[in-house]
Structure 1
Amino acid sequence: MTNRHWVMASAAALAAICIGASGCKEKAMAEAPVLTVPIATAAPATLANDLILSAEFRPYQEVDVMAKIAGYVKSIGVDIGDHVPQNAVLATLEVPEVQDDVAKAKAGVAAAEADIVTAQAAIEKARAGAEIASLSFKRIQDVATRDRGLVPRQEIDVARSRELEANAQLASVNAALKAAEQKKLQAESEYQRAVAMMQYATIRAPFNGVVTRRYANTGSMIQAGISSQSQAMPVVRLAQNDVLRLVLPVPVTDVAGVKTGQLVDVDVASVSRKLQGKVTRYADSVQMATRTMDTEVDVPNPDGALVPGMYAEVHLHLSARPHVLSVPLDAVDGLGTSQQQAYVVRDGVIHLASVKVGLQTPARVEILSGLQSGDKVIVGRHTGMYDGQKVDAQPAAYEANTTSER
């Protein structure tokens, strides 16, 4: 065989081998099983972003009731657990010196009233004397005018001086009456002050509440609690429990979503109760130590079943998206990155779709662009899948659960 014939034979054999290999590959691909993938349907749903926090119930308001004045406890009519209405008497102090002040101030008022009566009598007397002096001067002056030289000039001057003196006396007693009236006002003010101080000997409840602690007993010496630096002992501690506060430490990342009036679900496991409330107020300031913002929820407690100190699990509804296009969370690759995509199955073939997402919940994610309602997307792991791959799409077993938010 010549070299030329050998080359041609080798080429023919090589071509036969290649054709055979290609046919084998196509046959193998045709006989390989198609990959079965779970899919879910992109559909409208109402998504909500909930923040779950633990919080402790606190009284709506709580205060240590102090005494305004110092004294001994004469009687105390409440104890721990007693429910008292506003202005109810909690305790009565015995303060003899204040009682003496009241009696002294009352006597001062009576003395001032007597001074006023005396001044009024003196005015009547001075007014009568002024009228007589004025009448006498007028008569003498008339006679002297009618019959010149009949009345000596000295008598006219004496009558005039008596009139002036009587008028001055009247003005003096009028001033004395005003002074007596001012003295009475001062005495009455002192009496009212003494009575007010005496009223402080009766200690009353500042609001409707329950006595949570009792500090004093009958005979205890109570100091006046009028200074923040005083070591005065309170009488009782009073808490308002018909409304309780829940203080939620909202993380700084969720602060922007907190608004007054937001609904919250409260789960109190210790008493097996589920309640609903609203955000009543928030600090509008982040604590630097914890990077949280105190947010308060007022919870009505008319039956007293909830007790301060109990813990509750609070679901704070930060945001909601009604009727938005969404898919299960594991249908999107690259969440949180700049390249997010979903694997869409159409006619048994995979098509990669770049998507833009919005609100995320623990189960689903909002699709802003890239998908349409009714699209079938692959859920779960996407390793080894590629654009154009033929697959056998089957509904995911959990799709019914993940679409329950719709």
Structure 2
Amino acid sequence: MKTHQHLSKQAKAIGYISFLAGIFLVMSSCSANNMRANVRARKGDIAVAGVVPVTRQNLSNTLEIASEFVPYQEIDVHAKVSGYVKKLYIDWGTHVRQGQLLAVLEVPELLAQVNRDMAAVQRAQKDVERVQQELARDQSAYQVADVTYKRLYRVQKLNPHLVAQEEVDVAHGKDLESQAAVSADQAALAAAQEELAADKSTLQRDEALADYARITAPFPGVVTRLDGYTGALLPAGTSSSKSDLSLCHLAENDILRLVIPVPEEFVPDVKVGETVNVKVPALNKTFEGKVSLTSDQIDLSTRTMHTEVEVKNPHYEIIPGMYAYVDLPVRRAVNTLAIPIQAVVRSGGNSGTVLVVNRSHTIERRTVRLGIETPNLVEVLSGLKEGEQVIFGEQSGYRPGEKVQVRVLNPMEFTEKGA
């Protein structure tokens, strides 16, 4: 029993000694730097401090949003008239220019209709020429009859005994008859001309339809799918039926789009025309994009705004469907005071402390209010002035009031890229 009590007392003593040793080590660690500073002060040594100047920078945070590339525009190319594919000039993956010929259709009944229309136009032209000739003949006859009547009428008025009234009446009748024939010819000519115009209009319409047998590319792009091959019957793409066979699927891939949903809180920071970085993991490359448009409306179900980013793809490196990450700049600060993050000791919230080396090379501790923070820099809203020098790195080795020797570090190492 005594032995057990003796061992218990020894254990308590060992624990108490260990506790005191721990306290001593903590106090030694906390005060080591101050002791080193005091030793330097007693010996007259001056520490070397690496400092960076307070500079003005353009800072911005980025919001990373994932999306996938889609073509700038894409369509199913349909035939405007029904016909069989006679000649095919494209295949999967063919790059085409705007207006380039894709295929030629064979439409025999349409060609026959064009020939009938041409014959109708020629017939109408001959009818017009015939009526014009009749009109000219009747106009000549009318002029003779009119002159004859007026001459007999004047003679009969001057000397009634020289010309019988019957001759005057016969001449007057022929004059009226000739005048009516001219009027009828003029009406017939107008009708013939209208018929010719109608036949020409029909011919132009059918010739336009015949031209539709030549299918061309509506915009530059890539044939991403081929549906109609040589000999296939393509229906006229005038119905809304999705089952109608198209010639091909054409996509404009030299410019691609990214549709990104921007959260409501960042909507005020989105600017149309702004340049953004687009990272494509599959290619391990970053491309330059531009915010092309926004919907200017919040989707009530997702609380996001539809935003589109355009990325130029002149060498067709990016394939539609690839995933990408858009770095959207938000919360910018232009020409603002900034220092490296390593020069600040956070003290909670948007505040922190820095060690400033004044003109007499003496250290001052300052409280600063902080703003935007980037991977390298932090914005200083108050507490520092442009050109002042702050200690970079660990601050525990220095104390306020201490004299130091300044070694200015290169501020370009901490400047924001592209600022």
Instruction: Provide the TM-score with structure 1 as the length reference.
Output: 0.77
* Distance verdict in 2 for CA 1:344–1:143, change over 3 Å: closer
Question: Pairwise mapping of residues 39-78 of structure 1 onto structure 2 (< 5 A)?
Answer: 43-46=54-57, 47-78=59-90
* Distance verdict in 2 for CA 1:216–1:32, change over 3 Å: closer
In structure 1, distance between residues paired with 2:209 and 2:129: 30
Output the amino acid matched with 2:31: V
* Distance verdict in 2 for CA 1:98–1:36, change over 3 Å: farther
* Distance verdict in 2 for CA 1:208–1:346, change over 3 Å: closer
Which SS does the other structure have where 1:151 is aligned?
A: coil
Give the Å deviation of 1:202. Answer: 1.5
* Selected match of 1:270 from 274, 277, 282: 282
* Selected match of 2:334 from 301, 313, 321: 321
Contact 1:36 1:392 in 2 (8 A): no
Match of 1:115 in 2: 127
Which SS does the other structure have where 1:191 is aligned?
A: helix
In structure 2, distance between residues paired with 1:111 and 1:87: 36
Which SS does the other structure have where 2:62 is aligned?
A: strand
Output the amino acid matched with 1:150: L
Output the amino acid matched with 1:405: T
Output the amino acid matched with 1:182: E
* Selected match of 1:34 from 18, 31, 34: 31
Question: Pairwise mapping of residues 24-173 of structure 1 onto structure 2 (< 5 A)?
Answer: 34=31, 36=33, 43-46=54-57, 47-173=59-185
Give the Å deviation of 1:254. Answer: 1.6
Match of 1:333 in 2: 347
How big is the alpha-carbon RMSD for the aligned residues of Structure 1 and Structure 2? 3.6
Match of 2:14 in 1: none
Contact 1:36 1:393 in 2 (8 A): no
Match of 2:269 in 1: 257
Which SS does the other structure have where 1:133 is aligned?
A: helix
Output the amino acid matched with 2:347: D
Give the Å deviation of 1:181. Answer: 1.0
In structure 2, distance between residues paired with 1:76 and 1:272: 38
Q: Which runs of 4+ in 1 moved over 6 A?
A: 37-42, 346-352, 377-382, 389-394, 399-403
CA deviation profile, 1:178-232 (whole Å, cap 9, x unmatched)? 1111111111000000011111112111111111001112222222111334631
In structure 1, distance between residues paired with 2:28 and 2:309: 65
In structure 1, distance between residues paired with 2:159 and 2:28: 163
Match of 1:13 in 2: none
CA deviation profile, 1:257-279 (whole Å, cap 9, x unmatched)? 11122121233332333332332
Contact 1:265 1:315 in 2 (8 A): yes
Contact 2:338 2:377 in 1 (8 A): no
* Distance verdict in 2 for CA 1:36–1:142, change over 3 Å: same
Q: More deviation in 341-350 or 126-135?
A: 341-350
Contact 2:289 2:310 in 1 (8 A): yes
Identity %: 35
Contact 2:75 2:251 in 1 (8 A): yes
In structure 2, distance between residues paired with 1:346 and 1:85: 64
Match of 2:232 in 1: 220
Question: Pairwise mapping of residues 191-230 of structure 1 onto structure 2 (< 5 A)?
Answer: 191-229=203-241
In structure 2, distance between residues paired with 1:349 and 1:323: 24
Instruction: Provide the TM-score with structure 2 as the length reference.
Output: 0.75
Output the amino acid matched with 1:255: V
In structure 1, distance between residues paired with 2:414 and 2:340: 12
In structure 1, list runs of 5 or more residues that go unmatched. Answer: 1-29, 383-388
In structure 2, distance between residues paired with 1:380 and 1:253: 36
Q: More deviation in 312-321 or 195-204?
A: 312-321
Give the Å deviation of 1:287. Answer: 2.9
Match of 2:21 in 1: none
* Distance verdict in 2 for CA 1:35–1:372, change over 3 Å: farther
